Amino acid sequence: MANRSSRPADPLPLNGRVGTIAARENPFPLRALALPGLLDLPEEVNSRSTHIATFADLGTSGPVVDALRARSIVEPFPVQEMVISDALDGHDLLVQSPTGSGKTLAFGVPLVDLLEPGAWGPQALILAPTRELASQIVDELEVLAQARKLRVAAVYGGVGFGPQIAAAKKADILVATPGRLEDLIARGAVELDQVGVLVLDEADRMLDMGFRPAVDRIVGLVPEDRQTFFFSATLEGAAGKAARDYTYKARSHTHRPPEEDRGDIEHRFVRVESQPAKLDVLVSGLATEEPGRTLVFVRTKRGADRLVKRLKAQKVEAVAMHGDKSQRQRENALARFERGDVLTLVATDVAARGIDVPDVMRVINYDAPEDQAAYVHRIGRTGRAGRTGTGISFVLADEVKEMRRIAKALGLEFGEGRTEGGTPKPRRDSENRNDRPPREKREKRASGDREKRPASDGPRAKRRRRRRRKPAGTPAS
């Protein structure tokens, strides 16, 4: 595990390796004094006092500003406004921000300005939990990197080694999943000794997927005087511990979108009698709801394939996306979904990580999520960037307790009976449990039972009765 405590009292300047990291003059080099014992705590910077209108005001270079403008990106999103200046000033970052908030450009914009072209080997490493997210990061950064004459490459499983090795050796910015990166390191195809900036994107999910040992090994190969950007949906628990291990005197930013910027998502909880009955409920819902992109979550890879076949038998066109699909199959499925050729995508949790399709109309939890975090991640695929959406969860009888707990924790209404969220429906008189008699009759009956029950002296009386029942001839104790 990489331990940052051995670093100097102040962060090293970013010109430690000539030709790899651009030197930046900080007009405000002095920092607030820290009390003893608190040196490792991040400096909390949750908002800025003034509105910053453009990327140029944040310190972004002219070529990168022009590249953003060419994509009609002029004003930074709030999370970008929060972190870009601190990143350019050389600080480590801890950033808590939800998916879909613009966090890729939050680290991507300063990253391309921190690097200089001409180095041999990666100057920056971005770790991502899935190949889909890695591919999307490359898509977001490629134009910006070209504006600074930098090269970006991605390495992930599911494709051949040869082309990835060739691209990785030429890359200034390497985007990688932990497993494939370790494979390339073991083959001697990639070295990390020139990495000056390390980015961990969706770090909480990376840890949830069991990548902590691999990430520890990779971080241990990156120079100690690096700059680290840690992006996560949460900075608590395991993610918070990893953040402290990987960063040094980090600036901490928490981005919580205001209510008016949040997507308007309707949450429904639909009681279903059995697992086989879910198919009919799904097909009926797709037929009656307004047509639009629908993302359906299942628990297993086999379940995803099976559901697609059953939907096709019901004349519902759908595609599956999971870890056993090749990279080409996954990319084709996602492309068809994005184009609208297919309106129903069936996916597992891991495969869907990194899916960023802005106009998903509804998300359906065909199989219940494992926990609250999984529910938030799934439903967060809809209602993005202020849009509206619907989250529908199928709930079996043995899942009611857990789903009610998740709903309560998130401040959602969980309907009783067959309701689909909203205010619980009152029971009709005929639905009263076990047709119990009125309260006064129950109390009277209970009172009569108490009167008939013989009085007891407690444990002593019981011991006397047991002694009287001993058979004759038994010696007294």
Which token pair is 173? Answer: 């910015």
Distance of alpha carbon 206 from alpha carbon 129, whole angstroms: 5
Residue 429 counted as domain residue? no
Q: What percent of the chain has pLDDT over 70?
A: 72
Q: Report pLDDT for 78.
A: 87
Distance of alpha carbon 391 from alpha carbon 382, whole angstroms: 8
Q: Report pLDDT for 328.
A: 75
Q: How crowded is residue 64: how many other Cβ atoms within 10 Å of its Cβ?
A: 22
CATH, residue 352: 3.40.50.300
Residues 40 and 182 in one domain: yes
Residues 171 and 147 in one domain: yes
Is residue 148 within 8 Å of residue 64, measured between CB atoms? Answer: yes
Helix (H, G, I), strand (E, B) or coil at 357: coil
Q: Report pLDDT for 385.
A: 62
Q: Which of 38-52, 223-237, 335-349 has the lowest mean pLDDT?
A: 38-52
DSSP β-ladder status, 264-271 and 319-321: unpaired
If one compares 462 and 274, the residue with the highest pLDDT of the two is 274
Q: What is the mean pLDDT of residues 38-48?
A: 40
Is residue 187 within 8 Å of residue 162, measured between CB atoms? Answer: no
Q: Report pLDDT for 222.
A: 96
Phi/psi of residue 390, nearest 5 degrees: -130, 135
Distance of alpha carbon 180 from alpha carbon 173, whole angstroms: 16
- Give the pLDDT band of residue 353 (cuts 50, 70, 90): low
Q: Is the pLDDT of residue 373 over 60?
A: yes
Is residue 293 within 8 Å of residue 343, measured between CB atoms? Answer: yes
Q: Is the pLDDT of residue 286 over 60?
A: yes
DSSP β-ladder status, 124-127 and 152-155: unpaired
Q: Report pLDDT for 453.
A: 41
Is residue 239 within 8 Å of residue 202, measured between CB atoms? Answer: no
- Give the pLDDT band of residue 41 (cuts 50, 70, 90): very low
Q: Is 466 exposed, middle or buried (0-12, 13-18, 19+ CB in 10 A)?
A: exposed
The model's pLDDT over 174-205, given as tens digits with 9 standing for 90+, comes to 999 999 999 999 999 999 999 999 999 989 88
Which of these three, 221, 241, 257, is where a domain ends? Answer: 257
Residues 381 and 270 in one domain: yes
Question: Average pLDDT of the chain?
Answer: 77
Residues 192 and 326 in one domain: no
Q: Which residues of 16-26 are buried (b: 16+ CB within 10 A; e: fewer)?
A: ebeebbeeeee
If one compares 388 and 403, the residue with the highest pLDDT of the two is 403
Helix (H, G, I), strand (E, B) or coil at 53: coil
Q: Report pLDDT for 386.
A: 64
Q: Is the pLDDT of residue 443 over 50?
A: no
Residue 31 counted as domain residue? no
Residue 462 counted as domain residue? no
- Give the pLDDT band of residue 420 (cuts 50, 70, 90): very low
- Nearby residues of 228 by Cβ (< 8 Å), 6 or more positions away: 92, 93, 197, 198, 199, 200, 246, 247, 248, 250
Q: What is the mean pLDDT of residues 102-123?
A: 92
Q: Which residues pair with 152 in a beta bridge?
A: 173
Which token pair is 236? Answer: 């608590």
Residue 310 counted as domain residue? yes
If one compares 190 and 381, the residue with the highest pLDDT of the two is 190
Residue 455 counted as domain residue? no
- Give the pLDDT band of residue 449 (cuts 50, 70, 90): very low
Q: Is 122 exposed, middle or buried (0-12, 13-18, 19+ CB in 10 A)?
A: buried
Helices (H), 289-371: 301-313, 327-339, 349-352
Q: Which residues pair with 390 in a beta bridge?
A: 266, 362
Handedness of CA 240, 243, 248, 250 (dihedral sign): negative
Q: Report pLDDT for 370.
A: 87
Residues 70 and 219 in one domain: yes
Q: Strand locations in 66-168, DSSP E?
A: 93-96, 124-127, 152-155
Q: Is the pLDDT of residue 355 over 90?
A: no
Q: Report pLDDT for 421.
A: 38
Q: Is the pLDDT of residue 311 over 50?
A: yes
Q: Which of 59-68, 214-223, 464-473 has the lowest mean pLDDT?
A: 464-473
Residues 339 and 268 in one domain: yes
Q: Is the pLDDT of residue 173 over 60?
A: yes
Among residues 282, 277, 316, the alpha carbon closest in space to that of 297 is found at: 282
What residue numbers bound the domain in which 400 lies? 260-424
Q: Is the pLDDT of residue 477 over 80?
A: no
Helix (H, G, I), strand (E, B) or coil at 102: coil
Which of these three, 204, 225, 257, is where a domain ends? Answer: 257
Our count of domains for the chain comes to 2
Q: Report pLDDT for 23.
A: 39
Q: Is the pLDDT of residue 35 over 80?
A: no
Residues 253 and 266 in one domain: no
- Nearby residues of 57 by Cβ (< 8 Å), 6 or more positions away: none
Which of these three, 222, 237, 257, is where a domain ends? Answer: 257
Of the segments 328-332, 381-385, 395-399, which one has the largest average pLDDT value? Answer: 395-399
Residue 390 counted as domain residue? yes
Whether pTM exceeds 0.75: no
The model's pLDDT over 198-253, given as tens digits with 9 standing for 90+, comes to 999 989 888 877 889 999 999 999 999 999 999 988 887 888 899 999 999 999 99
Q: Which of 7-21, 69-83, 299-313, 432-446 has the lowest mean pLDDT?
A: 7-21
Residue 240 counted as domain residue? yes
Residues 311 and 385 in one domain: yes
Residues 370 and 227 in one domain: no
Q: Report pLDDT for 8.
A: 42
Among residues 39, 20, 23, 22, the alpha carbon closest in space to that of 31 is found at: 39
Helix (H, G, I), strand (E, B) or coil at 461: helix
Is residue 107 within 8 Å of residue 27, measured between CB atoms? Answer: no
Residues 237 and 266 in one domain: no
Residue 477 counted as domain residue? no
Helices (H), 221-326: 237-246, 277-288, 301-313
- Give the pLDDT band of residue 354 (cuts 50, 70, 90): low
Q: Report pLDDT for 395.
A: 95
Q: Is the pLDDT of residue 463 over 50?
A: no
DSSP β-ladder status, 264-271 and 124-127: unpaired
Q: Report pLDDT for 258.
A: 54
- Nearby residues of 129 by Cβ (< 8 Å), 6 or more positions away: 177, 201, 202, 205, 206, 209, 211, 350, 353, 354
Is residue 368 within 8 Å of residue 303, measured between CB atoms? Answer: no
Residues 47 and 130 in one domain: yes
Residues 96 and 171 in one domain: yes
- Give the pLDDT band of residue 471 (cuts 50, 70, 90): very low
